[in-house]
């Protein structure tokens, strides 16, 4: 079976240079492809390097994705948007993200978030690139922006969707895909699980969001920690997230694998057919 990770951060510093080991485990665990999301100018080169390297075993396709995450936009330089546009133009099979809006994180300013998000959404729309969106406690504005701004005609990803159940249909009508993280297997996440039961079949994706959003311990087959012993989510836990999803949708893993593959390739593109 082939598993597709719609959203992770393999480049993250907390992995402390152990990416080759992680990828080896992922290959053994059946991971076929992953979208690796950059979050700021400082980590874009790391994402690029991961996408360009020869991986042994060479089974895993890395889709590089570049964007300014709302948590880091205060770090942006004057020519950040030009740099981003150049990266997107230079690489085939590229994606935009992680981008978005966040009114949840304590102490984070909302100033500039919409402007930075819209500029990146427009870049994705112009090039019809898949875009991965983070949204916390800003769903009203997010919906308005997605409704009124140009969008990539291929669609867009709402990663770890945690918005209202009632917005699923209107967002899907705009082209949204929704990815389920293992974190929603935690008992207290019943509202999010209930929301995911309403996601249209052809719009579901699965993600690890590694190194964050770990599965509950009982489902975590790849325990991993940073240099200080703090637990990290290993991207090879992807299969465990599929198993959680299969239980949630009361569907065999084998059929879930097939439809998630179709959804993933529809949004992120097929590696054989170059655009």
Site residues (vs Zn ion, CB under 5 A): 98, 209
Which residue lies nearer to Zn ion by CB, 98 or 243? 98
Give the integer Cα–Cα distance in Å for 129 and 20: 27
Distance in Å, CB of 132 to Zn ion, minimum:
8
Distance in Å, CB of 9 to Zn ion, minimum:
6
Give the integer Cα–Cα distance in Å for 113 and 254: 40
CA angle 47, 15, 73 (to 5 degrees): 50
The alpha carbon of residue 212 and the mean position of all alpha carbons in its chain are separated, in whole angstroms, by 11
Distance in Å, CB of 43 to Zn ion, minimum:
12
**Core vs surface per residue 241-259: b (16+ CB within 10 A) or e:** bbbbbbebbeeeeeebbee
Cα distances (angstroms) measured from residue 198 to each of 20, 33, 214: 37, 26, 23
Which residue lies nearer to Zn ion by CB, 230 or 274? 230
Do residues 235 and 8 touch, judged by C-beta distance below 8 A? yes
Distance in Å, CB of 7 to Zn ion, minimum:
6
Which residue lies nearer to Zn ion by CB, 43 or 243? 43
Which residue lies nearer to Zn ion by CB, 5 or 98? 98
Give the integer Cα–Cα distance in Å for 262 and 135: 25
Which residue lies nearer to Zn ion by CB, 85 or 136? 136
Do residues 37 and 212 touch, judged by C-beta distance below 8 A? no
Which residue lies nearer to Zn ion by CB, 159 or 203? 159
Distance in Å, CB of 86 to Zn ion, minimum:
23
Which residue lies nearer to Zn ion by CB, 134 or 239? 134
Length of the chain: 275
Q: Which of 144, 145, 151 is nearest to 125 (CA)?
A: 151
Q: Which of 156, 183, 148, 195 is nearest to 172 (CA)?
A: 156
The dihedral sign for the CA sequence 175, 240, 30, 256: negative
Distance in Å, CB of 212 to Zn ion, minimum:
7
Distance in Å, CB of 47 to Zn ion, minimum:
12
């Amino acid at each position: 079976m082939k598993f597709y990770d719609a959203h992770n951060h393999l480049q993250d510093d907390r992995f402390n240079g152990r990416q080759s080991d992680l990828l080896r485990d992922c290959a053994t665990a059946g991971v076929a492809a992953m979208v690796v999301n950059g979050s700021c100018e400082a980590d874009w080169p790391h994402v690029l390097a991961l996408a360009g390297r020869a991986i042994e075993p060479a089974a895993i396709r890395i889709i590089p994705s570049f964007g300014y995450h709302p948590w880091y936009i205060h770090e942006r330089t004057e020519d950040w948007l030009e740099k981003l546009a150049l990266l997107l133009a230079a690489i085939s099979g590229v994606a935009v993200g992680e981008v978005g809006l966040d009114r949840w994180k304590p102490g984070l300013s909302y100033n500039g978030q919409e402007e930075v998000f819209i500029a990146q959404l427009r870049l994705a729309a112009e090039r019809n690139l898949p875009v991965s969106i983070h949204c916390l406690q800003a769903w009203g504005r997010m919906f308005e922006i997605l409704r009124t701004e140009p969008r990539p005609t291929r669609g867009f990803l709402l990663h770890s969707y945690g918005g209202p159940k009632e917005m699923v249909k209107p967002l899907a009508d705009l082209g949204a895909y929704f990815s389920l993280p293992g974190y929603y297997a935690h008992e207290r996440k019943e509202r999010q699980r209930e929301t995911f039961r309403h996601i249209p079949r052809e719009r579901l994706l699965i993600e690890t969001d590694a190194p964050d959003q770990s599965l509950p311990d009982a489902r975590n087959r790849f325990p991993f920690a940073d240099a200080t012993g703090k637990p990290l989510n290993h991207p090879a836990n992807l299969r465990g997230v599929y198993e959680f999803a299969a239980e949630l949708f009361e569907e065999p893993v084998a059929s879930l694998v097939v439809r998630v593959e179709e959804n993933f390739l529809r949004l992120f593109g097929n590696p054989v057919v170059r655009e």
